[in-house]
Structures are given as C-alpha cells and as structure tokens.
Structure 1
C-alpha cells in the first residue's frame, strides 16, 4: 500500500463518527454472553466463529461462556455467478462434527446476510440439531438476504451506515479499532 493510501486509511479513522465506545461494546458482549449461557449452557453446543470478522467478537465472547462447548472456526465467501446466483465457497469448512448437536455461529455483523444465511443453511442441511446465530452488530435496513433472516443474539443495532471496528473492516483495515465507528458521510 502506498503512503498516500495509508494516509487515507488513517484519515478515515480520524474523521469517523464513534457510534459505540469500547466500554459500550464490552457491555453488549457481556449481555450476549448471559443470554447465550441461559439458552445453551446445558446443550453441549458447537460454536463456530466466522472468519475474518467474527475473530474479535468470538475472542471476547468465548471466555464469558462458562459451560462446556466445542469451539472452532469456518471461513466462507460468497460470489456471484450469473447462471446460478449466490454460491458459497468454503475457504475453511466446519472442522468439528456437529451432526445432531446445537450449533452457534458467531459473526461480527448481520448486514444483508447472504453469506451468513448460506452458512446457516449448510449447518441445518448437514444435520445440526439447531442453528443459532450471534452477531455483535445488526444493521437496521430492509435489504436482508431473506425476510426471515434474524440473529438470535444481538449485541448492538446500528443505523444503515458504513461501519468498522471490533472485527468489521474498512478496506481491510481497522478491524482492531476500539469501538464501533461509522465512516463520515457514509
């Protein structure tokens, strides 16, 4: 990356709007952990973090889930094919057998949710006893991949803006930003 491009990346952060502070995000994660524990504490779930965005939230959420679980990650991307629509490409497929077990998928954001919907469908089709989803952020708009797509556990809800921080990126950067930020003007 050129120094001009890196300067732009830095400027985006400087000019961004702070939507949720680090303390507000941590509080939301604690509340999610309590709800997840209440629902899955006795269920022996398999928990998958969706890479790359789910890395930060999973790293903070998992130690708060004080019950037996198996944790792993998966990495899937969606691409458009003009003849078949949305298809899921597995970079790293689920590596733990979850047949007949409850599955919890952890991701950073539910925006339109095409990839997340495909992952949920894959887990159901592969025999999960149930599939639930935890997202740090649910973006409020009407463009979800399908009308019934909702997260079971939500940390924060945000307006329809371009956001970054806590796992969400801006052009591959600022997943490490200490809070949830919105790009100025977007």
Structure 2
C-alpha cells in the first residue's frame, strides 16, 4: 500500500493552526515549572508514551532541571487511524515501579482510555504515586471517566481531529511545527 503524499501535504496545507510553535513551547515551559514544583525532590520515573508522547516528552525533559529517570512505554488504540479501538500493549514499562513516583507523559487526553489503562497498570505494579501530563486536553463529554483530567496539562482544544507535536494524521505530521486541526473535523 502506497501513501498518497500529495494528500498528506494537502491535509497540512489546508489545516487550521490552533497553536503556533511559540505558543506550544511556552505551554511546555509552564508545565515544566509546575512539574518541577511537585516532583523535584521525589526522584521520579518519567515515561513517554510512544509514539505520540515522544516529541512532547523530549521537549519537556530539557526543562526539568532536577534528577530523574526517563524511559518509554508503548500502548496504543489508534494504529494510524483516526478512531480508537482495543488497547494494544507493544512495550510495557520495563523498570521496577514499586515504591516509585511515576509521571506518564502523553500527547493528548482525548477520551482517556489509553491513559487510564496505563495509570492503572502502573498502580497495580506498585508505584507509590502515578501522575500524568499531556500536551493537549481535548474538551468534550466522552471521557473514559467523568471529569477525567491530567495532573499537568499544557493546552486545551475543542473537539476536533488534531495533529502536530507528536500527534499524527495517518502516521504523518507528528513533526508539524505547531498544533493543527484537520479541516472540516
């Protein structure tokens, strides 16, 4: 199956920019300040949720000026499509979580099923405290748990299909320099 790169480019060209690169970077710096206040003395283990959390977590880590360990995990529901399915663990946390403060970093809190399952997994593995941080919280009434929020949130957006800064459109545009909404969605 070949990808129609003209279509992929057209999606970006027609997309609405919701947040510029400067706005996103400012939000990441503000989040880092809040995370530092809460976790600087807790020797946290920080996980990037792949693939979406990669860009955001990498940017965030450079602003955290205290000792920490970082790693990754890979759980997904999307598989390069625009709607979620069953949770698929590709790489669970490989570090010992018992007694640790864990911060799970992901790109977006949409319905929250993936994030809720990851947090539950970390709690069941004996983590002392499990916190979450997302770049974007999508505002709607379809959360996995009523009122579900992340402990640290960079930005909020309306209920649209978004991409950029780790979030993708059919596997592309995770590298977009800002956060964009798909035209018509």
Q: Same fold (TM over 0.5)?
A: yes
Find the counterpart in structure 1 of residue 28 from structure 2: 29
Find the counterpart in structure 1 of residue 127 from structure 2: 128
How big is each residue's C-alpha offset from its partner over 1:88-124, in whole Å with a ceiling of 9 and x where there is no partner? 4321110111211110000000000111110000001
Find the counterpart in structure 1 of residue 81 from structure 2: none
Unaligned ranges ≥5, structure 2: 79-84
TM-score for both structures, normalised by structure 1: 0.92
Find the counterpart in structure 2 of residue 14 from structure 1: 13
Pairing 1:139-150 to 2, within 5 Å after superposition:
139-150=138-149
Number of residue pairs the alignment of both structures matches:
179
Tell me how large the CA RMSD over aligned residues is: 1.5
Pairing 1:83-102 to 2, within 5 Å after superposition:
88-102=87-101
Find the counterpart in structure 2 of residue 57 from structure 1: 56
- What is the CA-CA distance between 1:50 and the residue it aligns to? 0.2
Taking the aligned partners of 1:149 and 1:99, their CA distance within structure 2 comes to: 25
Q: Secondary structure at the match of 1:64?
A: coil
TM-score for both structures, normalised by structure 2: 0.93
Taking the aligned partners of 1:64 and 1:11, their CA distance within structure 2 comes to: 34
- What is the CA-CA distance between 1:148 and the residue it aligns to? 4.4
Moved more, 13-22 or 148-157: 148-157
Taking the aligned partners of 2:7 and 2:54, their CA distance within structure 1 comes to: 25
How big is each residue's C-alpha offset from its partner over 1:24-81, in whole Å with a ceiling of 9 and x where there is no partner? 00000000000000000001111010000000001100111111111000001349xx
Q: Secondary structure at the match of 2:70?
A: strand
How big is each residue's C-alpha offset from its partner over 1:161-185, in whole Å with a ceiling of 9 and x where there is no partner? 0100000000110000000000111
